[in-house]
Amino acid sequence: MTAPASPPSPSAAPQGPTLATQLRHTAACVLAVEQGRSLSEALPALPPSLRPGVQALTFHALRQLGTARALVAQLVSRKPAPPVQALLCSAVALLLDAGDDGQAPRYPAHTVVNQAVEAARQDRRSERQAPFVNACLRRFLRERETLMAAVAHDPVARWNHPLWWIERLQRDHPDNWQAILEANNQPGPMVLRVNRRRTDRARYQQALQAVGLASTPVGSDGLVLDAPQPVDRLPGFAQGDCSVQDAAAQMAAELLLDGRHWGPSDRVLDACAAPGGKTAHLLEHAELNLLALDVDPRRCERITDTLARLGLQAQVRAADAGQPAQWWDGQQFDAILLDAPCTASGIVRRHPDVRWLRRASDVDALVAIQRQLLAALWPLLKPGGRLLYATCSVFRAEGAEQARAFLVHHTDAREAPSPGHLLPGLAAPPGQFNDNGSRGHDGFFYARFDKAGP
């Protein structure tokens, strides 16, 4: 048995990007979000060597942005230029003792200040403000306790969500709104879905153990990893043994297909399918004649890639599900999955930019789109068929209220048992939808409508 290799000496270790460089790009990402751009656009533009560190810092900054904005407002007499404001917020967020599960890097306070000043010098838009950045951050360190007390009663600073979002959650979930907001400010766990066509969960869990990765079962096919990992560390990932998918999203296939035998003659529509996780899970459960739609051709390529890695087949088409005249062949479906466009208010812990990008008016606009999709797709369902309506939202307007309105206007629809609203940070409802007591799922809503028979 050979002895383990000695770790390389510090002098031999490769030098990564400095904190100043990472902070400069973090501030640019925070500024992009404040200007209305998604991180899914901003982060891929970074060099690969910078992306992991900058993503971690940016996620941390956005989880603390309400507090950081309030503190920066206390530190300045006049709001600085947007690049300087974004840098100050990013640095202040890093100086806060957030306790967000250790996912954001931690540095000594003097290092953060010095590197933030250097980041200002590196950016031509803020280089002349480097002394101002230094003065603000050093004042924060001197007066931290007083400054924190000054913003303590600001709900946006306390909960790090827009005020309209907080107030809507207070109305929608009066008993759980605080738990939802607290969960949103923590990173979500990494959850795997085992491909039951290639292996089973027990064997795959053993394969994970063999490479030193601990996990806990969740749902029917899921495993929650004790710590997030790069996918290239997952045994058999490239060969399709597993996928990364949250526990709440994994409920869709079972809710749609449960209770009957399915085969290649059954026509199933996944109406808003990209990136293809739920499409694949349906096909892992059963051989189906499945059509996967998405309005964006580029996102359709992701569905195709997902299916190819998992060894699954479906017809993938770029089309607007809400306009059946453009794509439907006139043959009704046995089952339809409508994972409708929504505010994404249930997946904020994985996408911390969402809370700052959304506006209160977006809710009504998305509710109207959901209503139109439901109305357009219901006639495409066979008598005796089933439609599963899903959103990754915790807002009742996109969930329970939408389902109630649908039932009022479609007298041939019957609501089957389904979990309704799943809330992040809270266990799933007891009974058949219990996910082994896991508190690891995202926020979601499910309602299944069965169509009256002939």
**CATH code of the domain containing 28:** 1.10.940.10
Q: Is residue 10 part of a domain?
A: no
Mean pLDDT of 351-362: 98
What's residue 262's pLDDT?
Answer: 97
For the chain, the domain total comes to 2
| pLDDT tens, position by position, 137-156 | 999 999 999 999 999 999 99
Query: How confident is residue 427, by pLDDT bands cut at 50, 70 and 90?
Result: low
What's residue 453's pLDDT?
Answer: 83
| pLDDT tens, position by position, 155-208 | 999 999 999 999 999 999 999 999 999 999 999 999 999 999 999 999 999 999
Q: Is residue 419 part of a domain?
A: yes
Q: How far apart are CA 203 and CA 206, in angstroms?
A: 5
| pLDDT tens, position by position, 113-124 | 999 999 999 988
Instruction: Kindly state whether residues 147 and 263 are assigned to the same domain.
Output: no
Instruction: Kindly state whether residues 280 and 388 are assigned to the same domain.
Output: yes
Does the pLDDT of residue 439 top 70, yes or no? no
Query: How confident is residue 426, by pLDDT bands cut at 50, 70 and 90?
Result: low
Query: How confident is residue 438, by pLDDT bands cut at 50, 70 and 90?
Result: very low
Does the pLDDT of residue 12 top 50, yes or no? no
- Tokens (6 digits) for 211: 């490479």
Instruction: Kindly state whether residues 270 and 397 are assigned to the same domain.
Output: yes
Here the CATH number for the domain that contains residue 407 is: 3.40.50.150
What's residue 125's pLDDT?
Answer: 87
Q: Is residue 3 part of a domain?
A: no
Among 137, 158, 179, the domain-final residue is 158
Yes or no: say if 341 and 313 are a contact pair by the CB < 8 Å rule. no
Does the pLDDT of residue 447 top 50, yes or no? yes
Instruction: Kindly state whether residues 334 and 443 are assigned to the same domain.
Output: yes
Does the pLDDT of residue 29 top 90, yes or no? yes
Among 98, 131, 158, the domain-final residue is 158
Instruction: Kindly state whether residues 278 and 139 are assigned to the same domain.
Output: no
Mean pLDDT of the chain: 92
Among 109, 143, 158, the domain-final residue is 158
Query: How confident is residue 429, by pLDDT bands cut at 50, 70 and 90?
Result: low
What's residue 10's pLDDT?
Answer: 38
Does the pLDDT of residue 102 top 60, yes or no? no
| pLDDT tens, position by position, 318-353 | 999 999 999 999 999 999 999 999 999 999 999 999
What's residue 127's pLDDT?
Answer: 84
Instruction: Kindly state whether residues 149 and 268 are assigned to the same domain.
Output: no
Q: Is residue 216 part of a domain?
A: no
Q: Is residue 170 part of a domain?
A: no
Q: Is residue 190 part of a domain?
A: no
Does the pLDDT of residue 5 top 70, yes or no? no
pLDDT top residue among 127 and 61 = 61
Query: How confident is residue 67, by pLDDT bands cut at 50, 70 and 90?
Result: very high
Q: How far apart are CA 421 and CA 443, in angstroms?
A: 7
What's residue 261's pLDDT?
Answer: 94
Instruction: Kindly state whether residues 140 and 253 are assigned to the same domain.
Output: no
Domain with 355, as residue range(s), is 248-451
What's residue 103's pLDDT?
Answer: 46
What's residue 428's pLDDT?
Answer: 53
Does the pLDDT of residue 431 top 90, yes or no? no
Instruction: Kindly state whether residues 153 and 280 are assigned to the same domain.
Output: no
Instruction: Kindly state whether residues 45 and 150 are assigned to the same domain.
Output: yes
Q: Among all residues, which ones are annotated catalytic?
A: 392
Q: Is residue 429 part of a domain?
A: yes
Instruction: Kindly state whether residues 252 and 125 are assigned to the same domain.
Output: no
Q: Is residue 134 part of a domain?
A: yes
